[in-house]
Amino acid sequence: MSETTAARQHREAWGSLRRLPSKRWQARYNGPDGKLYSARTEDDRPLTFLTKGDARAWLNRTHAAISRGEWQPPAVAARLQRDEAEAAAIRDVTFREYAEQWLERAEREPGKGGRMRKPGTLMMYKGRVKNYLLEPLGDVKVRNIDAEMLRNLARDLAARPSVLRPNAKHNGVAGDAIDVLKMILRAAVRDGILAKVPDVATPARKSVRHDHDHTPEDDVATPSQVDQLSEALPQPWSIAVLLAAWCQLRRGEVLGLQRRDIVWNHERTAATLYVRRQKNGSTGDLTDPKSEKGIRSMAVPPLIVERLREHLDRRVAADPTAPVVPIKEKGLKHMSATRWNQVWTDHRELVAGLPEGYRFHDLRHTGLTRFAQEGATLAELMRRGGHADINVVLRYQKATMARDIDLAARMSATVLDELRRTD
Other C-beta atoms within 10 Å of 236: how many? Answer: 21
Structure confidence by residue, pLDDT tens digits, 370-383: 888 887 888 888 88
Domains of the chain, start order:
9-79 (no CATH), 95-190 (no CATH), 220-361 (1.10.443.10)
- Residue pair 414/406 in contact by the 8 Å Cβ criterion: no
pLDDT bracket for residue 1 (50, 70, 90): very low
Between 366 and 217, where is the model more confident? 366
In DSSP notation, 229-293 reads HHHHSPTTSTHHHHHHHHS---HHHHHH-BGGGEEE-TTSS-EEEEE--EE-TTT-SEE--SSGG
Structure confidence by residue, pLDDT tens digits, 163-198: 656 665 666 788 889 999 999 999 999 988 888 999
Q: At residue 42, does pLDDT exceed 80?
A: yes
Q: Residue type for 378, please?
A: L
Local structure of residue 45 (DSSP, 8 states): -
Per-residue model confidence (pLDDT) at position 394 = 73
Structure confidence by residue, pLDDT tens digits, 338-375: 999 999 999 999 999 888 788 999 999 999 988 888 87
Where b means 16+ CB within 10 Å and e means fewer, 384-398 reads bbbbeeeeebeebee
- Residue pair 295/272 in contact by the 8 Å Cβ criterion: no
Among residues of the chain, what percentage have pLDDT more than 70? 88
Q: At residue 271, does pLDDT exceed 90?
A: yes
Q: At residue 400, does pLDDT exceed 80?
A: no
Rounded to two decimals, the pTM is 0.60
Structure confidence by residue, pLDDT tens digits, 307-329: 999 999 999 999 999 999 999 99
Structure confidence by residue, pLDDT tens digits, 19-41: 999 999 999 999 999 999 999 99
Per-residue model confidence (pLDDT) at position 140 = 94
**Mean per-residue pLDDT, 392-417:** 72
